Amino acid sequence: MTAVKTLHSDNFQTEVLHSPKTAVVDFWAAWCGPCRMISPLIEEMAADYQGRLLVGKLNVDENRKLALDFGVTAIPTVLVFKGGEVVERVVGYRHKDELYQIVNRHL
């Protein structure tokens, strides 16, 4: 299984904003129950879309400024980036089929 990229302020611009691929970023925190529920889906997505999609996780407690920069006020929030821009925002837990439909619109 492909690992999900750990994102933080030092690599976010290079990995996500300048990525030639569509990027899916899960904004999460360790204390968040719904974040723990969606985490296996994010891992599965990384494997299922290997080579076609960048999948990453950003801990909001460790990267507050980035979370604020992208208007993340509730978690989990999954942002889909294309060409360095947010093209989709999903707040809260979603089932696998719904997440995949959202991602497929932007591939």
Query: What is the set of active-site residues?
Result: 32, 35
Q: How far apart are CA 69 and CA 64, in angstroms?
A: 9
The answer to whether 25 and 79 are in contact (CB under 8 A) is yes
Strand ranges across the sheet with 77-82: 5-7, 53-59, 22-28, 77-82, 85-91
CA–CA gap between residue 85 and residue 96 (Å, rounded): 23
